[in-house]
Amino acid sequence: MNTPVRVVAAGDHFVLPTLIDRALTDEVIERPLDVRELTLGWPMEPFGPVAEVREASDAEDAVIEALDGREVLVTQMAPVTERVLAACPDLRLVVVCRGGPVNVNLDAATRHDVRVCYAPGRNAAATAEFTVGLLLAALRRIPQAHDSLARQRSWRGATYYTYEHSGLELEDLPVGLVGYGAVGSRVARALAAFGAQVMVYDPYARGEIHGLRLPTLDDLLTRSRVVSLHARLTPETQGLLGARELALLPRGSVVVNVARGPLLDEAALCDALESGALSAAALDTFDREPLPADSRLFALADRVVLTPHLGGASRAVAEKAARIAAAEVGRWARGEPLAHCLT
């Protein structure tokens, strides 16, 4: 079959259209390629709900125009809504360069006979590394010390060297991980190398784990000086750590969240930080993003490390995502079974 594979590479300013195009060229070699590039606004423009999908760039019209006569869409943020699918009858395959196709209406894709694939694990290493970095920053007060010296030109070494204000070290520290998937398992191995006492709660984890498996979340919380969230966000896990759960942690504990903001009750977290029940928190994800200007977290800057959802922001992630997606297009073009397909 020598007919070209007609693709729209709807990239953005992270997973560049040129990265997708290059990966497709390396992967799809049996048939000619006809790639039309489209650049969406993320991350310069925030994603959010678009029609019935949760996380996408607000670009239905641009996507519909680009998909005219095209059978494959490779994208990270394009909104694949009922309207887009209905307007693009030639579309047969959508490959999302993310860990899940949250920008795709899967029911509508099934009705329109469109296969939907995704790119699991593309940011696992980057997110795990970022988690450990945030954890160390919170434990040792690194951002606060930097701000004091570099911005305020104040030498506060004496303050941070007092017993009351000095930080915790990872060696022998009880650290609880909630979730043991691609990210959590990497964090566990990294923390074990530091000598931490790693404990894990994940009712879905199978096989051997790096650490002590605990049967309940309450068991984990009562024994952890640090708890790090790595669970998927589902209706069951929303608000997984609320006021009751945070109260189970030993006084002065630290909470880390580089997973999804709604796993954690932010109001309850702020209450615990203000009361001193928790000594610190390190957060990369939030209940509302961007973080609102009136968030209580800003008033707790001496006790929190805040980053704007950067856990997966590495060049390797963008390159891996493009390669995983291109491999699916290659399998589809050759008539082979798809590796990560949901419809």
Element (H, E) at 257: strand 253-257
- Out of 70, 260, 303, 340, pick the active-site residue: 260
Does 165 qualify as catalytic in the annotation?
no
Backbone angles phi, psi at 20, to 5 degrees: -65, -45
Helix/strand/coil for 316: helix
Give the residue carrying structure tokens 């608000």: 239
**Residues 316, 125: contact at Cβ < 8 Å?**
yes
Q: Considering the candidates 37, 45, 129, 289, report the single residue annotated as catalytic.
A: 289
Kind and range of the H or E run holding 142: helix 142-146
Annotated catalytic residue, options 309, 323, 331, 340? 309
Active site residue 260: yes
Whether 328 is a known active-site residue: answer no
| Cα–Cα separations (whole angstroms), residue 125 to 137, 164, 311 | 18, 34, 10
What does the buried/exposed string (b/e) look like for 51-72 if buried means 16 or more CB atoms within 10 Å of the residue's CB?
eebebbbbbbebbbebbeebbb
Residue 161, C-beta contacts closer than 8 angstroms, at least 6 positions apart: none
Considering only CA atoms, which of 311, 320, 338 is closest in space to residue 20? 320
| Type and span of the H or E element at 266 | helix 266-275
Cα 84 from Cα 106, distance rounded (Å): 12
Contact 199, 187 (CB under 8 A): no
Residues noted as catalytic: 260, 289, 309
